[in-house]
């Protein structure tokens, strides 16, 4: 759990990185960062959650509609960056955010389109993180293809150990983010069940807009 200096109870220093550069093309409602959530832009809610959960600092990476997002969202407690290459995919935003974070910090990477994220989820990931590893939130989602329908699936946020930041960044391209590294080194990934907090779903399509309630 975070203290007044934004350091977890285990003494770890963590910078949160919110990837919020996308245009939300599939939704057709403009940048996802501006989706309304409980009276405020979604990016503001996610960034505030990372701070409340124990991140020492939060870096928000904008792209599509950046000026409009900065005008609408209260992000005073965050470092706000604009990715001029946001159309190349999420990877360039990841790299920009990672470079901006203090080199000594672990990274907690979150997606802007995950309205169910809670401070308790962030706290749980920070508390469960082990040195030299990646700690990822996982969720039990009902799916007819999963036998009993409760398979645990890895999602976001995830904590990338400071010692792995350079290695992970070297694998990031296009829209894949850290997926390539996670596939190649599953032995370094710890999954933490956060199903009691949310479903972990992203708002990608119109039928998922109900997640914003």
Q: Which domain, by its residues, includes 182?
A: 14-200
Residue position matching structure tokens 């290459």:
85
Residue 211 lies in a domain: no
Q: Which range, 19-23, 58-62, 151-155, 182-186, has the best average confidence (pLDDT)?
A: 58-62
Residue 32 lies in a domain: yes
Residue 197: the pLDDT is 93
Residue 209 lies in a domain: no
Share of the chain above pLDDT 70, in %: 84
Residue 8 lies in a domain: no
Q: Judge residue 163's burial from the number of C-beta atoms within 10 Å of its C-beta, 0-12 exposed, 13-18 middle, 19 or more buried.
A: exposed
Peptide bond into 134 cis (omega under 30): no
Which residue in 90, 122, 106 sits closest to 192, CA to CA?
122
Report the CATH number that the domain containing residue 70 is assigned in CATH: 3.90.550.10
Residue 99 lies in a domain: yes
Q: What are phi and psi of 162, to 5 degrees?
A: -55, -35
User: H-helix or E-strand containing 79?
Assistant: strand 79-82
Residue 3 lies in a domain: no
Residue position matching structure tokens 């990476």:
61
Q: What does the mean pLDDT of the chain come to?
A: 87
If one compares 26 and 60, the residue with the highest pLDDT of the two is: 60
CA distance 1 to 8: 5
Contact between 106 and 129 (Cβ < 8 Å): yes
Position 209 pLDDT exceeds 80: no
Sign for the CA dihedral angle at 35, 41, 47, 51 comes to negative
Close Cβ partners of 74 (under 8 Å, ≥ 6 residues apart): 40, 44
Q: What is the pLDDT of residues 71-122, one digit of tens each?
A: 999 998 899 999 999 989 899 999 999 999 999 999 999 999 998 899 999 9
Contact between 97 and 79 (Cβ < 8 Å): no
Contact between 3 and 9 (Cβ < 8 Å): yes
Residue 9 lies in a domain: no
Average pLDDT score over residue span 136-156: 75
Residue 57 lies in a domain: yes
Provide the number of structural domains found in the chain.
1
């Amino acid at each position: 759990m975070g203290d007044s200096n934004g350091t977890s109870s285990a003494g770890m220093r963590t910078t949160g990185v919110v990837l919020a550069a996308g245009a939300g093309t599939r939704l057709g409602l403009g940048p996802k960062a501006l989706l309304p959530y409980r009276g405020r832009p979604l990016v503001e809610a996610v960034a505030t959650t990372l701070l409340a959960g124990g991140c020492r600092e939060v870096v928000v990476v904008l792209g599509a509609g950046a000026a409009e997002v900065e005008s609408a969202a209260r992000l005073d407690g965050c470092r706000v960056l604009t990715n001029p290459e946001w159309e190349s995919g999420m990877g360039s935003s990841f790299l920009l955010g990672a470079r901006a974070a203090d080199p000594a910090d672990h990274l907690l990477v979150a997606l802007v389109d995950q309205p169910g994220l809670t401070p308790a989820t962030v706290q749980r990931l920070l508390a469960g993180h082990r040195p030299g590893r990646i700690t990822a939130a996982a969720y039990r989602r009902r799916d007819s293809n999963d036998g009993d329908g409760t398979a645990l699936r890895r999602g976001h946020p995830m904590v990338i150990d400071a010692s792995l930041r350079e290695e992970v960044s070297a694998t990031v391209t296009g829209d894949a983010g850290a997926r390539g590294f996670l596939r190649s080194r599953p032995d370094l990934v710890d999954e933490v069940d956060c199903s009691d907090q949310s479903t972990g779903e992203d708002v990608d399509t119109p039928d998922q807009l109900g997640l914003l309630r």
